A and B are shown apart, each in its own frame.
Chain A
């Protein structure tokens, strides 16, 4: 159990399903490729349907398998009657996509204002379909393109604060903050879930989660904004 990434026969303590959502071409697939395989594909293609990647890691001495779901970002389409719908590219996959997700990453491209403006719609769809306790993180990707920035950090921070989200700016290309972002969300999920278990078990070792809190405090840029977690993170 001392290695960071588990092998095939390893006992898995937790499987966390995390979904990636956001407009087309904001870099969802690249973030996932960077996190799961430390790759960046210069010839990356549009995602069709649903793709997954997994990565097994150790959090607080527990083996956690992160199952990350990635999907097409096409925002709108048409229906038989010619009306316009909005949401996950292919509506049908929507419920399967969100089912059982304990974490979600809302990704926008910080060089494209509209992809940020759409975050509230993605959030709405997410909250409409996912579990109420889902941990959500807002990701401003492509921070390597600093000169083209169209979304000020403060705007995103304010939005995250208002909506009770974690927030981080990343670059899948330069590998900035990608691992940190995923670790943050996974650690938070773990913390919530183990807390639930703790409550269920009445008394248990609080040291585990306090160790985690340290991690949370370091890597979340604005942890105090989150009321839900305020008692632990503040």
Chain B
């Protein structure tokens, strides 16, 4: 794991906020620019809804579906976050639709305002056992960041689970704007899961991938899961949505996250995020890092990249779930007679899951999966190449290069 004192800063690198080769001055300049950008966005939100940035937030709706403002929404008052939402009795029933106030007509603004109370309801339930959130300021920081994010990323807005993803950023990074950007980078990886269309939610694609992997790795188990009505793998929904935050303790999940990001690390992340499409291929090529700068998982993907370059690589989190399933395979086959049993059996694991072991198992499974797929695709002796890789990669170490940026001046 990363030492807590530098964790926030390392996360910024792991998530691609900065180029690993950048100097302190370069990073500081970007940081200042981003802080100003965040302040600007936050101000825009405040103009739409004055509670943004006020240190207070709401847990009851402020607008109707058709854009009529609701008067006197139940506002969470400053004094008693730890006692839950204490609503002054005189406010009850006072919440009425204000017909005099101008109607909001911008659909996107309505949509944003409709999520604000949902964010509030989740913020007060996020990591509430941590002393950190006994401080009301931190709760409103969380609310502000999620509100600003929802306004900026209109396709995603706010979805339940995002508060779980954002909370650690606020704890690790002191500056609210820095936390926002770290969260924003994390969402670049995960926002697809939260995107909804008419009848699907993004994470479903990942659940389908999980089904495919299980089918390849453990066909018997897949068949059994399908047989008991779990073919959609919905029981893994939460693990993927909040990246195992509910399966691991707070500390363990942070450790797990940084391990996953290190394994998936791509040194070009910063540029990939930062740049528009205009960058010439030469420029991009000039920046290409040697393969040893990549995370171990990513390297494995690159080696296999030529074959299926048209599809984006599967995130390691799917292999993590798959390895948990695989580990519990015998029990699941024997005892799971319904989806409730599946959940129960998986929950039994959760308490005892070791982040490092889980990652190692995921890597192993990933390799096995690639191998099986390769075997399937051609019966050629690609396996000898893979065997070589197995030997090279048999020791589990996080590549130190990308996670040790130049922190000194």
Contacts and interface: CB of A to CB of B under 8 A. Distances in A.
Contact of B107 (A15, A43, A83, A150): A83
A75 B237 CA distance: 18
A77 interface: yes
A180 interface: no
Interface in B168-210: 195-201, 203-204
Given A45-B125, A50-B235, A96-B234, A77 B157 contact: yes
Interface in A26-73: 43-54, 67, 72
Nearest to A112: B60
A207 interface: no
A152 to B, nearest CB: 11
Interface string B126-163: 10110000000000000000000000001111111101
Contact of A44 (B93, B125, B163): B125
B252 interface: no
Interface in A126-174: 147-148, 150
Contacts of B200: 91-92
B128 A43 contact: yes
Nearest to A24: B121
B338 A67 contact: yes
A75 B197 CA distance: 15
A5 interface: no
Contacts of B292: none
Interface stretch (B4-12, B111-119, B391-399): B111-119
A199 to B, nearest CB: 27
A232 interface: no
Given A83-B107, A147-B89, A46 B160 contact: yes
Q: Chain B CB within 10 Å — which of A54, A80, A90, A93 has the most?
A: A90
A173 to B, nearest CB: 11
Interface in B207-249: 232, 234-235, 237-238, 241-242, 246
Interface string A86-110: 1001111100100000000000000
B201 A92 contact: yes
Q: Which 9 A-B pairs have the closest CB atoms?
A: A49-B237, A48-B238, A92-B201, A90-B201, A52-B340, A25-B121, A49-B238, A78-B157, A54-B340
